Chains A and B, each alone.
Chain A
C-alpha cells in the first residue's frame, strides 16, 4: 500500500504504479497536462518509466482562462 498526495487530495494504491498508470486512472491520458512530483517536473515522455513512491506529493496542472 502506498499513499500519495495529488493536488492536495490523498490517494492510496495497493501497490506501486507508474505515473502513466496514475494519469490513466485519472482519465487524463492524452490531455495537455503538466506534472510535478515533490517540486520537480516530470516530463510527459517519462510518465511510463517513473514509479510512484509512498509519500509522493504530486501537482497536476492544465491551462485555464486567466488575465
Chain B
C-alpha cells in the first residue's frame, strides 16, 4: 500500500522528520539520522568562522543535499524580519531551495512560538515563493490562518521544545487536524517512542523531533525506536482501533464447549 507523506507536491516514504542538533559529533549525527530513516532533516543557519578555523568540517559533507531534503530552520529568531532574513540566506546557501521551516520564538525560557510574528513572516515568505512548513502553537484558529496564508505544512508543538513532555493536549491536535487540509506534523515535545506513536495514532501526518533522539543515552538506538514508533502509530491509525469500553462482556475465547465444573 502506498502511504507516502506528500508535502508541497513531493512524496516521502518516511513520516519521521529529524533535527541535526545536539549530537556529540558528526559521526553520531550521521549514524542516528541514517538509522531514523528520515528523509527530511532540519538544519540551522549560523555565522561562519571567518578564517579562525579554516578546516572546520561541514555538516553538509556528512548530510549531503543529494541524499536528504534539507529543511533550513529559523531557530533562535524572535522577529519576523530575522526569520525572513535567515531563510533568504538559506535559499542562497542551498542554491535556490525553497522548502523551509519557519519558527519565530516568543521568549528564550519557554521557546514558545510568537504567533503574531510567525503569521507576519509566513505572509512574506509565501509571497517570495518559499514553501513554508511552520512551527506554531496548538491553537486551531492560528493553524487554519497559517494554512490560508499558504503554508505547506502546519507543525504544532506537542509540548515545549526540548522538554520531552510528550503529547500534552491531544484534543487541540485533533481540532487542528479537523480544520487543516495540508499535512499536520507534531514538532517539539516528543520524549520517547510512545509519544511519537500516540501522535501518529491521533492521525498526525508526521512527527519532527531532535532532542528526543540526540539527548537519549543511546541516540542511535533511540533513532531506531522512533522509526518503529512512527511506523507502528501510523499503521494503528490506518487500521482503526477498537472502541474503548469499560468492559465488554465479550470474551475473546468461545463461550461454548467449556468443560463442566466437578463441584456441582
Contacts and interface: CB of A to CB of B under 8 A. Distances in A.
Interface residues on A, range: 20 to 34
Contact of B89 (A9, A36, A64): A36
Interface residues on B, range: 35 or more
B58 A61 contact: no
A7 B50 contact: yes
A59 B42 CA distance: 21
Given A41-B88, A65-B23, A67-B161, A60 B70 contact: no
Contact of B20 (A25, A26, A34, A67): A67
B61 to A, nearest CB: 9
A61 B45 contact: yes
A32 B20 contact: no
B48 A65 contact: no
A31 B58 contact: yes
Contacts of B211: 67
Given A34-B92, A41-B89, A43-B92, A63 B58 contact: yes
A64 B50 contact: no
Contact of A27 (B54, B89, B90, B93): B54
B59 A59 contact: no
Nearest to B75: A66
B85 A62 contact: no
A67 B75 contact: yes
Nearest to B81: A39
A63 B59 CA distance: 7
B46 interface: yes
A5 to B, nearest CB: 11
Contacts of A32: 58, 60, 93
A64 B94 CA distance: 13
Given A28-B48, A33-B93, A60-B50, A66 B58 contact: no
B50 A9 contact: yes
A6 interface: yes
Interface in A6-36: 6-9, 25-28, 31-36
B19 A41 contact: no
A45 to B, nearest CB: 10
B70 A63 contact: yes
B51 interface: yes
Contact of B43 (A7, A25, A41, A66): A66
23 contacts: A7-B48, A9-B50, A26-B48, A26-B51, A27-B54, A28-B48, A28-B50, A28-B51, A31-B48, A34-B90, A41-B88, A43-B92, A60-B48, A62-B48, A62-B58, A63-B44, A63-B45, A65-B23, A66-B20, A66-B21, A66-B42, A67-B20, A67-B211
